[in-house]
A and B are shown apart, each in its own frame.
Chain A
């Protein structure tokens, strides 16, 4: 990380803190002693603080994944996504507390039954019906992002539900400025808060829509060919101009949007399965979700919109003279692209795990690459029981495992097993590089 890049991240941190400070000040400016002189006023007041902080964090969460180029470069897409995931739940907890506490506080203040009060608030207060819908959207996104729920649904379902958080955050805005005592009669507070929402919207429109569109059009990326690689696995070869200027490396991924009927509305994160050239990029895809099944039918000439490149799963992260690349199923694809990127002096061992022989996709390419540069590829076909990916078993094939840099990509259980194996050999974190499939999302 260069000095300039760190500088950017530092400014972003200060700005984040400044916003938090202004949000707190906004509350302190408008609160009165009578907001704190009894149990129920205190409950109502706390609910408002929760609402302010929860909303602020929700906006920060949006900005974290808004693909602002200089922040992406200085902090790294993967870390931004991790922060987004860590922050998200807190935002939702705070907003949930707000909903609960304000219902209790208002009901007690009005001497009404809580159900009656909630009904009255939702039906009669301005913009409360949209705000209720917004709360449902946010909760749905939160629940479906919970690890266990996320594992049970397709990427498309999860993504679509997550998309509604934009709508949710927008819908919740009006009830805040129309009913919040920190905004009623406080034009400066209202102006600051409105500015915050407008700025967030502007950032999202610019970096998530306009810039990717302009870049996609400029590089004129289109599908050239779709090649079947194995059962349910296809490679999509795309052609464009000046692709070398994107600065993409093997091992990285893009978010792709194929402008074809039934597919244009959703983007998919796929890793490059070959090192990119000036005119070509290739991804190799398994039909994991609903829409990824349709990529088989993509017609040559289909326009492709992209965002990226993302990811730090790159050859330059290696610190030793030997690397062990471990791929599970279609997870071999970024490793295949990585193989081309390592220095010719690098010693390479590849372990390719698949449950059946047919899943060994790109096998001929791996063999050819291995021959060309003297790498070894170990194919392990069969169940997890036959091939337990522990340190001892890995060392049967790669005796120098403990002295190598480890790159692993595949289903989460495989990534976790290899992580454990690496830890048990004393391989430090900076020599362990992973790319779990589910990790690409957001």
Chain B
């Protein structure tokens, strides 16, 4: 193979690569804007305090998602209102109770939607109404990760969870949906 032909092959490669990347630039960094404690897959040791900071500085994603999925949000609001009424009728305690469904969070591998049960401001149960299960690998990862995410949620009684290593997308989706459920509960 002559040097010229190598150049032609290289030219074709760069041309094809350049054309595609200029039409649709890669979404390389989008998934990393996370409320979770950083290095999930690397077995990160980020502390809860730093997580809180990150959450405070990036309130946008949850809001955007709520706006983009109006239908479930409306349902959730109705439920939230109902439970809020219940809460109001018992003035002795200002702490919320009821079942709250978070907004659906779209991840790279599929949607995540969290439902929590709150009794007097304490999360007593959490479950995934939706999780990535389009392909077998996602199913497997979700099934392994969700029990841990539930545990973390109950333990933290907030959205300050670490997430599960090896399931970064599900963890991120869980965090987003959980945050919206908590805000509906007024927590």
Contact = CB atoms under 8 A, between A and B. Distances in A.
A106 B166 CA distance: 9
A21 interface: yes
A17 B169 contact: no
Contacts of B19: 21, 25
Chain B interface helix/strand/loop/mixed? helix
A247 B31 CA distance: 61
B15 A110 contact: no
A41 B32 CA distance: 14
B129 to A, nearest CB: 20
Which DSSP category, helix, strand, loop or mixed, fits chain A's interface?
helix
Interface in A169-184: 178-179, 181, 184
A29 B24 contact: yes
A6 to B, nearest CB: 10
Contact of B30 (A32, A40, A125, A178): A32
A13 B166 CA distance: 41
A25 B20 contact: yes
A426 interface: no
B26 A29 contact: yes
A217 to B, nearest CB: 36
Nearest to B18: A21
B137 interface: yes
Contacts of A25: 16-17, 19-21
B41 A125 contact: no
Contacts of A32: 27-32, 108
Q: Which of B14, B108, B134 has the most CB of A within 10 A?
A: B108
Contact of A33 (B1, B29, B137, B144): B29
B12 A18 contact: yes
B114 interface: no
Contact of B136 (A24, A37, A110, A126): A126
Contact of B12 (A9, A21, A26, A33): A21
B109 A181 contact: yes
B26 A125 contact: no
A109 interface: yes
A21 B14 CA distance: 6
B186 interface: no
A37 B43 CA distance: 10
A21 B17 contact: yes
A4 interface: no
Contacts of A179: 135-137
A21 B13 contact: yes
Contacts of B166: 40, 109-111
A25 to B, nearest CB: 4
B162 interface: no
Interface in A28-81: 28-29, 31-34, 37-41
A14 B12 contact: yes
Given A26-B20, A124-B140, 17 more contacts: A13-B5, A14-B9, A14-B11, A17-B10, A17-B13, A20-B13, A20-B16, A25-B20, A29-B27, A32-B31, A34-B41, A83-B1, A110-B141, A179-B135, A179-B137, A185-B109, A185-B134
23 contacts: A10-B4, A13-B9, A13-B12, A17-B15, A18-B15, A20-B16, A21-B14, A21-B16, A21-B19, A29-B20, A29-B27, A32-B30, A32-B32, A37-B32, A37-B40, A38-B41, A41-B42, A109-B165, A110-B141, A178-B136, A179-B136, A184-B109, A184-B138
